Amino acid sequence: MIPIVALMIPIIAIWTKHQQKIAEMQLGATAEQTAEKAAQYASQIQRLEDRVQVLERIVTDRGYDIATQIEALRDTRRVDEGAGLPLGLEKKERA
């Protein structure tokens, strides 16, 4: 019985070291994946910030105000249904 226990101790020690190395490798792989994802998120955030800056420039630019004024004029033309009719025809229909 003693020889079996004497053989088991080194085997358990080797197995424990092996398990420890596997755990360290998994931890290292997880750290690499986390760092890689963090870098991807950082680049995505930077792209989004750049896009927001462009949109802010468009909104604060004078050209945006002009486009809004043009759309407002289009909306008032749509409301005024008789915009293309002669004035005399509109008056006759009302009477």
State the amino acid at position 22 in one-letter form: I
* pTM for this predicted structure: 0.42
Domain boundaries along the sequence of the chain:
37-67
Q: Are 83 and 77 in contact (CB under 8 A)?
A: yes
Q: Return the DSSP state at 55.
A: H
Residues in the chain: 95
Measured between its terminal Cα atoms, the distance across the chain in Å is 121
pLDDT, tens digit, for every residue of 8-19? 888 888 989 999
pLDDT digits (tens, 9 = 90+) for 18-66: 999 988 888 888 888 888 899 999 999 999 999 998 888 877 776 667 7
